[in-house]
Amino acid sequence: MRPRHPCLSMPPELQYICRLILYIELKGAVFMKIIFKILSAPFVVILTLVVAFMQFLFHISGWVFGLVSGLLGIIGVVTLFTGTIFNGVALLVIAFLVSPYGIPMLAVHLTVGLQSINYALRDFIMG
């Protein structure tokens, strides 16, 4: 069973005013939603470009960080057995931080967060 319209419980003189107010509120909500969609469109463009640029940087710098990490790892192992243990461990820790599982992984998580915000804004605009 359909619920009764809230304006029907009012006196007949006020029903027209009640319906007019509800209509204006409905149209105002639609108008505000359109305004917010228009205002969020530039943010979608900016986020799309930022995420694409960051992904480009990750692909380019991935092999550079891989090479540096490998070299530091090899030097760290050699230093660990031939030199002081502290320097070898320090080089191995630096090699891990430079490797794709260290600091670059934090940047990947940042990019994923920006991409999810971008998709949420796109869903808001298209929905």
pLDDT score recorded for residue 74: 93
As given in the structure block, the two tokens for residue 111 are 């990019």
Entry field: residues in the chain: 127
pLDDT tens digits, one per residue of 63-120:
888 899 999 999 999 998 888 889 899 999 999 888 888 888 888 888 999 999 999 9
Whether this model's pTM surpasses 0.85: no
pLDDT score recorded for residue 27: 74
Is residue 118 within 8 A of residue 51, CB to CB? The reply is yes
Domain ranges of the chain: 41-126
Is residue 80 within 8 A of residue 88, CB to CB? The reply is yes
pLDDT tens digits, one per residue of 4-59:
666 667 777 777 777 777 777 777 777 778 888 888 899 999 999 999 999 998 88
